[in-house]
Amino acid sequence: MRLAWPGSSPRTGTPNNYYPIKRGLNTIDLPRWQITIAIGWKRNPSLPALYELAGRIESESYMKTVAALQIILSGRSHHRANTRQPKLAVALLMLIFAGGLSEAVNAQQIQFRPGELLQAANQALEVGTYAIPCVADWNGDGRKDLLVGYQTAGKIALYLNTGSDANPVFMTAVNLQAGGVDISLPSTGCGAPAPWVCDYAKWEHGPSHDAGFFPIAIWLQDPRNAGQYRAAGINTYVGLWQGPTESQLAALKAAGMKLICDQNATARTHLDDPTIIGWMHGDEPDNAQSLGESKGYGPPVPAKTIVQDYQKIRTADPSRPVMLNLGQGVAWDGYYGRGVRTNHPEDYPEYLRGCDIASFDIYPVAHSHPQVSGNLWYVAQGVERLVKWGAGQKVVWNCIECTRIQSKSKATPSQVRSEVWMSLVHGSKGLIYFVHEWEPKFDEAALLHDPEMLGEVTAINRQITELAPVLNSSTLRDAVQVSSSDPQVPVAVMVKQHEGASYLFAVAMRNGETTATFTLKGLAGDKTVEVLGEERSLSARSRAFSDTFKSWAAHCYRIK
């Protein structure tokens, strides 16, 4: 078991320094299981940091906010919060444990019951001021536990859940320790440690637990090209044609490439091979399934079949996650390729019961249907819906277009960059590039034969890899207000904090130019805003700064 901070250690400055957790009165020792915790900071001089945890649901058509969920303190309103009564209310956490919200199309349909105080050891759960919670299965028993960073001594309290996700029963808290000593990151301001549990920590042979690893994958490519893809910043193959075979595995291992693949007979002889980091179902079972050549199509694979297959895969090897890649019905209800299940989005939460990593594909630029064609925001909408349907229990990845596929239209390098950042801003934790092309002729590795696109994809991947410790850290909810000079061009945003700096990732969600103004909570004094990768900077005054966005533009900012 190990405890880690992304990047430099806050104690020693040593890159990727790990502190062992030993058995003791206030420690937990879990054999054959690793946890990686990233410690960040949230600062807000006017509000308790607990308010930074908020969920947001956006409408399927216009990406407008329709609901905001906030934890409250002691049943008080947002404006009357008393930071000297740091009791966690159960209203939002119960929704998290119970599996999330049901479908909602507008704010008026969402109703909340009165808040209740969480209990620990039959007493009201109390921590220090500015509590920052994180929900995760800490001890691998299948039940979600509660970790809370608090200001009193800059420590992290662990509350183990002995009940269930729907009805949690928390034990008395213990502080997390490193080297037999309580982890302590005291703040001179209004911050508190922000615990984050690695998405892949529960799988011994799954994707890397290192905060510096962000999955950047390629779909169904020949292992002979692994070296070229590695040079472009790709670190994972998803799927192998009629594989994996021994020769395919050897080629990927030689190139230092990781793999998610079918659990075939060959793969089952490689259960200790670190090259394989995950298993996968057959592609797009949610679409109408072929009945054979010239026989038409039948219904999609039933969700219950996917769940049964998932259990079989996990029984054979529980040490790796199982990926399920779904079709464009995730983002577009009207996708006719689903046959009799077209316009049935309610199927998807059931499909997600059969996976650990949920992915999907939709390619707006290369799309033939006028409803989707050119509307890049469908990518973000699909990611957002998977995040919601997974209710925080599934890791979400998604596919990105970068060729013509079967169309005369091809995404430009800037549009690919936009789709990537739309995905990340809306909650994607992994990217899969689709690089096949059938027009004007078939080319399995078309990306490698397009110098302009390959250069842009390489640059995107380099930036993501450099920012991996930031992207893997906790997202600060409700930390910024955004206004757009053109209401028809909303700007989506994600805020992170890492090693004393604030990071803001923003992307224009419609085809049009606008100027966005960002007002950050807790930003004191005038600051310089570095625009990452663009060799320019801006000035933030009175907690705000502005920037221009061309059509579908994305910008990344760092504020120290």
| 81-95 per-position pLDDT tens digit | 333 444 454 434 444
pLDDT value of position 51: 34
Judged by phi (left if over 0) then psi (alpha if -120 to 50, else beta), residue 261 lies in: beta
pLDDT beyond 50 at 115: yes
* Radius of gyration for the chain, computed over Cα atoms and rounded to the nearest angstrom: 23
- Integer Cα distance of 188 and 86 in angstroms: 19
Contact indicator for 347, 385 with CB cutoff of 8 Å: no
Residue 4's pLDDT band, with cuts at 50, 70 and 90, is very low
- Integer Cα distance of 261 and 512 in angstroms: 40
3-state secondary structure 354-403: HCCEEEECCCCCCCCCCCCCCCCHHHHHHHHHHHHHHCCCCEECEEEECC
What is the mean predicted confidence (pLDDT) over 207-230? 97
The torsion defined by the Cα of 252, 255, 259 and 265, in degrees rounded to 10, comes to 20
DSSP for 415-452 reads: HHHHHHHHHHHTT---EEEE--B-SSS-BTTGGGG-HH
pLDDT value of position 500: 85
pLDDT in tens, 125-148: 887 776 778 787 777 676 788 888
**What's the mean pLDDT when you consider all of the chain?**
82
Contact indicator for 178, 21 with CB cutoff of 8 Å: yes
pLDDT value of position 191: 60
User: Strands, DSSP E only, in 27-180?
Assistant: 40-41, 54-58, 65-70, 119-120, 123-124, 132-136, 145-150, 155-159, 174-175, 177-178
Phi (first) and psi of residue 383, to 5 degrees: -60, -45
**Considering only 72-76, 108-112, 261-265, 275-279, which range has the smallest mean pLDDT?**
72-76
pLDDT beyond 80 at 102: no
- Close Cβ partners of 546 (under 8 Å, ≥ 6 residues apart): 515, 516, 517, 518, 538
More confident residue, 373 or 124: 373
DSSP 70: E
pLDDT in tens, 245-285: 999 999 999 999 999 999 999 999 999 999 999 999 999 99
pLDDT beyond 90 at 32: no
pLDDT beyond 90 at 445: yes
C-alpha of 341 from chain center: 27
**Considering only 87-91, 224-228, 425-429, which range has the smallest mean pLDDT?**
87-91
pLDDT value of position 178: 83
C-alpha of 52 from chain center: 17
pLDDT in tens, 158-183: 999 998 877 889 988 899 888 888 98
Burial class (CB in 10 A: 0-12, 13-18, 19+), 440: exposed
Instruction: Give the residue carrying structure tokens 């249907």.
Output: 369
Element of type H or E holding 465: helix 451-466
- Integer Cα distance of 422 and 210 in angstroms: 24
- Note the pTM of the prediction, 2 decimals: 0.74
pLDDT beyond 90 at 101: no
Fold match flag (216-466 vs 480-559)? no
pLDDT beyond 50 at 59: no
Burial class (CB in 10 A: 0-12, 13-18, 19+), 108: exposed
Residue 111's pLDDT band, with cuts at 50, 70 and 90, is low
Domain 216-466: state its class: alpha beta
- Close Cβ partners of 134 (under 8 Å, ≥ 6 residues apart): 146, 147, 148, 149, 194, 195, 196, 197, 474
Tell me what percent of the residues of the chain surpass a pLDDT of 90. 61
What is the mean predicted confidence (pLDDT) over 456-480? 95
pLDDT beyond 70 at 386: yes
What is the mean predicted confidence (pLDDT) over 486-502? 94
What is the mean predicted confidence (pLDDT) over 458-479? 94
pLDDT value of position 70: 31
Domain ranges for the chain, please list them. 1-210, 216-466, 480-559
More confident residue, 5 or 298: 298
Beta bridge partners of 195: none
pLDDT value of position 104: 38
Contacts of 440-445 spanning 24+ positions with Cβ under 8 A: 440/404, 443/403, 444/221, 444/222, 445/221, 445/222, 445/225
CA nearest 457: which of 506, 410, 511? 410
- Integer Cα distance of 558 and 502 in angstroms: 6
- Close Cβ partners of 80 (under 8 Å, ≥ 6 residues apart): none
What is the mean predicted confidence (pLDDT) over 64-75? 30
Q: Which two tokens stand for residue 386?
A: 């998977």
C-alpha of 255 from chain center: 27
Q: Which fold has domain 480-559?
A: Immunoglobulin-like (2.60.40)
pLDDT value of position 550: 97
**Considering only 5-9, 387-391, 396-400, which range has the smallest mean pLDDT?**
5-9
Phi (first) and psi of residue 252, to 5 degrees: -70, -40
pLDDT value of position 21: 32
pLDDT value of position 164: 85
pLDDT beyond 50 at 545: yes
pLDDT value of position 117: 77
Residue 5's pLDDT band, with cuts at 50, 70 and 90, is very low
More confident residue, 8 or 324: 324
